[in-house]
Chain A
Amino acid sequence: ILNVEQSPQSLHVQEGDSTNFTCSFPSSNFYALHWYRWETAKSPEALFVMTLNGDEKKKGRISATLNTKEGYSYLYIKGSQPEDSATYLCAFMDQAGTALIFGKGTTLSVSS
């Protein structure tokens, strides 16, 4: 069974702090890695879909990196704001699969 691990499980930061989370996934047969943000009372929304080793993607203050050879991805948030408070999910797809395998998420709380 393929396993996707996210750490930390939760964290609390002050407004203006920068933070990062980790997603670990199987390093063999990599196909794609997705990041989603899930705010309370809303639907999960995609942040990034990453496919290439060494890729780095950015959307505003949020960026992500991908290392497919060692099986990890980092999500960075620069200058956290209260509106960044959410659960951040990563999901992995291997070359044999047709569906995503999700991690349990990292829940971020940003205090003003």
Chain B
Amino acid sequence: DGGITQSPKYLFRKEGQNVTLSCEQNLNHDAMYWYRQDPGQGLRLIYYSQIVNDFQKGDIAEGYSVSREKKESFPLTVTSAQKNPTAFYLCASETGTGLNEQYFGPGTRLTVT
């Protein structure tokens, strides 16, 4: 089945540790996105990539890093510099035109204590 997967579903980390969230898609989409959702907030864009080996900062990129070495994969690292990392993280992909729907993964809920 074609789709987008994220792992793990739940992730717990101690403060000060970096953590990497996985996002994989087999839809042959060029563009991939990382969003963060907090209670009472809409989806806020962290990073996006429209092509392999290229990515752009979104509205809330501070404390996060990404890589796009393969078309299928767009991992997100939450670094210790992120002041409030506990949140729900969603990955999405799209053909790259902006005129087509985004496909979302199931999300990862990260808790940092």
Question: Which residues of A are in contact with B by a Cβ distance under 8 Å?
Answer: 1, 4, 31-32, 34, 36, 42-46, 49, 51, 89, 91, 93, 97-105
What is the interface size of chain B, counting residues whose CB is below 8 A from a CB of the partner?
Answer: 25
Is the CB–CB distance between A4 and B42 below 8 Å? yes
Is the CB–CB distance between B56 and A49 below 8 Å? no
Question: Which residues of B are in contact with A by a Cβ distance under 8 Å?
Answer: 31, 33, 35, 40-45, 48, 50, 56, 58-59, 90, 98-107
Among candidates B41, B102, B103, B105, residue contacting A100 with C-beta atoms closer than 8 Å? B102
A residues near B102, Cβ cutoff 8 Å? 34, 36, 44, 46, 100
A residues near B50, Cβ cutoff 8 Å? 98
Q: How far is the CA of A51 from the CA of B97 in the complex (A)?
A: 12
Question: Assuming the A-B contacts A34-B101, A99-B45, A104-B42, are A43 and B56 also in contact, with contact meaning beta carbons closer than 8 angstroms in the complex?
Answer: no
A residues near B106, Cβ cutoff 8 Å? 42-43
